[in-house]
Amino acid sequence: MTSETITLRITGPGRHKITTDVSPISTVGDLKQYIAQETSHPAMYLKLIARGKKIEENDDSATLTSVGLEHRTSIMCMHNERYVQDQKGVQAIQEIVKKIENLEAQKDDMQPIEVHELVTQICCRLDGVETNGSDALRQFRKQAIARAEALDTQQTDKE
């Protein structure tokens, strides 16, 4: 830790334990994005609890210090109510994202046409995930499609 950072200890969801040094002027949204990267749980579905109080979902633009987070604060991270409503769709998309991750790892050993075919199959599966009108789930699906399509674009650029 430097004088310009604070150390936060984050637990959950899925038994994740993360310790990180962050700037105290970082936002709650930045912290959720970091947790999302480390845990593969979408930021839009995370609820943070620190010092016995819930950090409100509309506080994403607030700085960490303005919501009371200090050096060595422990944070519990949980799924929010939106996740409960969208759980089936989130889990389906997360399974497909695992296939995208596998393809990212193997794409260099494949022909561009093979990558294109697999990306097309992945996008079709993502398109088949029902969002039931949930904007958050629709956004998560859109991010996964963009990640898959980026693989196809990378392969096309190599040709």
Rounded-to-integer distance, Cα 139 and Cα 136, Å: 5
82-121 confidence digits (pLDDT tens) = 888 999 999 999 999 999 999 999 999 999 999 999 999 9
Are 72 and 7 in contact, with CB atoms under 8 Å apart?
yes
Two tokens at 78?
Answer: 């949980």
Point out which residues pair with 63 in neighbouring strands: 27
Residue 156 has pLDDT above 70, yes or no: no
- pTM for this entry: 0.73
